[in-house]
Amino acid sequence: MLDDPFTRAAVVAERAVLATLEAGCSAPVGALADVVSDLDDDGRAVDRVSLRAVVGTIDGGLLRASVTGEMDDAEKLGAALAAELLDMGGPAALPRTAGSGVPR
């Protein structure tokens, strides 16, 4: 079985965004994660997840947000980014195919 930790972290982060937004295949939601090299507080190179997401709103606008964090926190990063998008526009701004339409 092949398992690349960078790919796994990216996929977990992206899927967490979609799951938290309850976004199906027809939802105008996109999430893209990459593993990037960064420097920690001591100047050492570390690998982190960089996650961006965009949501099309019912009024034709776009909500965009991004976050970077530890690879071990990929799922939490995705859920937090989705929550930020919900806070930016509220569930009522999202199309019915994304989010339940019920304020959280």
Burial track 35-55 (b if 16+ CB lie within 10 A, e otherwise): beeeeeeeeeeeebbbbbbbb
The boundaries of the domain holding residue 76 are 5-89
Domain count, the chain: 1
Closest residue by Cα to residue 34 from 2, 15, 10, 3: 10
Closest residue by Cα to residue 10 from 73, 80, 99: 73
**pTM to 2 decimal places:** 0.84
What CATH number does residue 58 fall under?
A: 3.30.160.40
Q: Is residue 94 part of a domain?
A: no
Residue 96: pLDDT band (50, 70, 90) is low
* pLDDT, greater one: 2 or 10: 10
pLDDT of residue 57: 86
pLDDT for residue 90 is more than 60: yes
Q: How far is Cα of residue 54 from the mean position of the Cα atoms in its chain?
A: 9
pLDDT of residue 104: 38
